[in-house]
């Protein structure tokens, strides 16, 4: 992932300058990333929304560079205008962390015959109270509730012309969920395959990992790898990670030992 932002939770500010972002693109491709997820708006709890013009100013030079390098590009945005512009340049995925708060995003994705990665969440990022802070009783059964709410969002996307096979499921670890909710979703990830959608999982450096041993975001690689190995074994089709080389190495060794299956790395 390429966060062209000043305030992302793990690497905010590291790739805000175009030269740094382009170099990061090159390093991720060299590490073996299959898809580059590029965004110009932080999705950390309490983050301030960023307008379309500013998102485009941040990401367009980076997207153009990635496409020139032959990369498959995903655009991390909730804004249909940003998606329209970047899909027009050649991006192939839209990564929507809002659970389709704006149905026009599905219309734009359908018009470009692209794929929408629809992440489960509740409410805006600015309304989230903090990392892994969410009421324990907010879900009756977090897996069943996420499946139902995500399915309703997919139906809204279908009503806007997006083919169901163009809608991927991200259960949204850490988004409107506490650590227990995220761990339960990960443990029972295989149950979500019944929805018939490719599953995308983004566990990288997230706060739920610290539930099993306090650690800052940059110290969560071990937990990230464990989560990725489990997700791949449980049926995930795509993993969204910061540490591409290390995760690919772990997955390759797992396959050499007979598991897990092949996945895409974004």
Q: CA-CA distances (angstroms) from residue 71 to 25, 28, 35, 123, 204?
A: 9, 10, 7, 32, 21
What's the token pair of residue 57? 């100013």
Nearest-angstrom CA–CA distance, 69 and 87 = 16
For domain 2-265, give the fold. TIM Barrel (3.20.20)
3-state helix, strand, coil in the chain (%, to 5): 50, 10, 40
pLDDT tens profile 187-208: 999 999 999 999 999 999 999 9
Nearest-angstrom CA–CA distance, 98 and 118 = 8
Q: Average pLDDT of 19-46?
A: 90
Nearest-angstrom CA–CA distance, 102 and 96 = 10
Nearest-angstrom CA–CA distance, 32 and 154 = 30
| Short-list 2, 124, 126, CA closest to 58 | 2
Element (H, E) at 200: strand 200-201
Q: Average pLDDT of 32-55?
A: 89
DSSP state of 108: H
pLDDT tens profile 66-123: 999 999 999 999 999 999 999 999 999 999 999 999 999 999 999 999 999 999 999 8
> What confidence category does residue 10 fall into, taking pLDDT thresholds of 50, 70 and 90?
low
What's the token pair of residue 266? 């974004």
- What pTM was estimated for this model as a whole? 0.91
> 35-39 and 2-3: which strand pairing?
parallel
Per DSSP, the three-state class of 235 is: coil
Per the listing, tokens 């990369």 go with 71
Q: Average pLDDT of 207-214?
A: 88
Residue 206: active-site member: yes
Omega prior to 42 cis, within 30 of 0: no
Residue 100 half-sphere exposure, CB side, CA atoms within 13 Å? 27
- For residue 126, the model assigns a pLDDT of 64
Per DSSP, the three-state class of 65 is: helix
What's the token pair of residue 241? 């990670």
Single out the catalytic residue among 240, 248, 255, 259: 240
What share of the chain in percent tops pLDDT 90? 77
DSSP state of 199: B
Single out the catalytic residue among 177, 206, 220, 248: 206
Q: Average pLDDT of 35-51?
A: 86
Residue 132 half-sphere exposure, CB side, CA atoms within 13 Å? 14
């Amino acid at each position: 992932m390429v966060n062209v932002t000043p305030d992302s939770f793990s690497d905010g500010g590291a790739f805000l300058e175009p030269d740094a972002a382009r170099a990061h693109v090159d390093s991720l491709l060299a590490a073996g990333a299959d898809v580059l997820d590029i965004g110009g708006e932080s999705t950390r709890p309490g983050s301030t929304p960023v307008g379309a013009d500013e998102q485009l100013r941040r990401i367009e030079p980076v997207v153009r560079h990635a496409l020139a390098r032959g990369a498959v590009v995903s655009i991390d945005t909730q804004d249909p205008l940003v998606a329209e512009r970047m899909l027009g340049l050649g991006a192939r995925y839209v990564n929507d962390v809002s659970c389709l708060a704006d149905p026009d995003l599905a219309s734009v994705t359908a018009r470009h015959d692209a794929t929408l990665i629809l992440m489960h969440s509740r409410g805006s990022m600015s309304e989230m109270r903090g990392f892994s802070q969410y009421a324990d009783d907010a879900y009756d059964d977090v897996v069943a509730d996420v499946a139902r709410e995500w399915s309703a969002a997919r139906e809204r996307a279908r009503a806007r012309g997006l083919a169901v096979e163009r809608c991927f499921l991200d259960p949204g670890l850490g988004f409107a969920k506490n650590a227990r909710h995220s761990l339960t979703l990960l443990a029972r990830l295989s149950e979500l395959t019944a929805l018939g959608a490719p599953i995308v999982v983004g566990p990288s450096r997230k706060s739920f990992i610290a539930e099993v041993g306090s650690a800052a975001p940059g110290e969560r690689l071990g937990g990230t790898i464990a989560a990725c190995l489990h997700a791949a074994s449980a049926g995930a089709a795509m993993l969204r990670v910061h540490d591409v080389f290390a995760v690919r190495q772990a997955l390759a060794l797992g396959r050499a030992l007979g598991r897990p299956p092949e996945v895409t790395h974004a």
